[in-house]
Amino acid sequence: MLEVWFGVALGLLLASNIALWLKLDRCYQDLGRRLSDSQTVIESKVDIGSIKTEIAETIEDFMGNLHVPTAQDHLLGGISQIMQMWAMKKFAPAVEMIKNDLEL
């Protein structure tokens, strides 16, 4: 039975991919037709140097904002873990009830 569902899912996935490909191909043809009708020249000049510079500046900015964890960071991490354990214990019956309701 499971392989039937896998087959159905795979078939639906394949069908949706084909439909999307056909739609994109149609959009590409329409765009090409409109561009050829309008006689508009689109020049696409890509400056790789400026792209590299922008990426490098972004990484430098990100790395500059990083800092070594302090004792306060470790303390807050420990407290948050204790609070998560407390919440898991406190709300376990509610979570179990929701799971049982969803399984029906």
Spell out the SS3 assignment of the chain: CHHHHHHHHHHHHHHHHHHHHHHHHHHHHHHHHHHHHHCCCCCCCCCHHHHHHHHHHHHHHHHHHCCCCCHHHHHHHHHHHHHHHHHHHHCHHHHHHHHHHHHC
Q: Does the pLDDT at position 50 exceed 70? A: yes
Q: Does the pLDDT at position 102 exceed 90? A: no
Q: Does the pLDDT at position 46 exceed 80? A: no
Of residues 47 and 92, which shows the higher confidence score? 92
The whole-model pTM stands at 0.36
**pLDDT confidence of residue 81:** 96
Q: Which amino acid is at 61?
A: D
% of the chain beyond a pLDDT of 90:
56
pLDDT digits (tens, 9 = 90+) for 73-85: 999 999 999 999 9
How large is the average pLDDT for residues 53-63?
Answer: 93
Task: Using pLDDT thresholds of 50, 70 and 90, give the confidence band for residue 32.
Answer: confident
